[in-house]
Amino acid sequence: MQASRARLFKEYKEVQREKAVDPDIQLVCDDSNIFKWTALIKGPSETPYEGGVFQLAFAIPEQYPLLPPQVRFLTKIFHPNVHFKTGEICLDILKNAWSPAWTLQSVCRAIIALMAHPEPDSPLNCDSGNLLRSGDVRGFRSMASMYTRLAAMPKKG
């Protein structure tokens, strides 16, 4: 508990210090609980997520960083490796390939990389995975960008 708190505090200070370094990621610690974080990440360019801002929720276990944080999308996203309803993310480094040397910041970077490079062979969102697997890239892109527009962009008017 103490070790995880200390480590999270260090990450917190690091985030404060380097705010400008990675403009695509904005990590915020909950005001009252250092084990709850949220992040806003920008959809990577040249993907159907471009222009969208996606919110992630981090629930951090007491054994962190020996165990990985639980991360899910709060913003609806159409992506093969993200559960369409719950926002759960299928990413190896959040499961068995976790290493305590990863940080919340690097997890965010990994998720952005996942958005740019979906893995349709281990889908949590089968509809999305099937579109890509059947080679219908155009269909996938238009679905994904529609949801980006609907859920991840500021409402007009």
Partner 1 sequence: MDSEDDMHDANDVESLEDFYSGDTAASDDDERDFDFAKSDDSDDETFHPQRNYTILSEDDILQLQEEDITKISTVLSISRIQASILLRHYNWSVSKVHDAWFADEESVRKAVGLLEKPVVDPMLNAVEVTCGICFETYPRYRMSAASCGHPFCCSCWTGYISTSINDGPGCLMLRCPKPSCGAAVGQDMINTLASEEDKQKYSRYLLRSYIEDNKKTKWCPAPGCEYAVDFVMGSASFDVCCNCSYNFCWNCTEEAHRPVDCGTVAMWILKNSAESENMNWILANSKPCPKCKRPIEKNQGCMHITCTPPCKFEFCWLCLGAWSDHGERTGGFYACNRYETAKQEGAYDEAERRREMAKNSLERYTHYYERWATNQASRQKALSDLQKMQTEHLEKLSNMQSTPESQLKFITDAWLQIVECRRVLKWTYAYGYYLPENEHAKRQFFEYLQGEAESGLERLHQCAEKELQVFLDAAGPSKDFNEFRTKLAGLTSVTRNYFENLVRALENGLSDVDGHGACSRTQSSKSSGSKSKGGRGKGATSRYESTQWSCKHCTYVNVRSTTECEVCRQRR
Residue 20: Cβ within 10 Å count:
6
| Least Å from the CB of residue 97 to partner 1 | 8
Q: ω before 100 within 30° of 0 (cis)?
A: no
* Residues with catalytic function: 90
d(CA 65, CA 48): 32
Radius of gyration of the chain (CA): 16
Binding site for partner 1 (CB under 8 A): 3, 6-7, 10-11, 14, 63, 65-67, 93, 99-102
| Least Å from the CB of residue 47 to partner 1 | 24
d(CA 35, CA 19): 20
Q: Which is nearer to partner 1, 70 or 134 (CB)?
A: 70
Quick one: tokens of 41?
A: 């990440």
| Least Å from the CB of residue 3 to partner 1 | 6
d(CA 35, CA 75): 20
Q: Which is nearer to partner 1, 67 or 126 (CB)?
A: 67
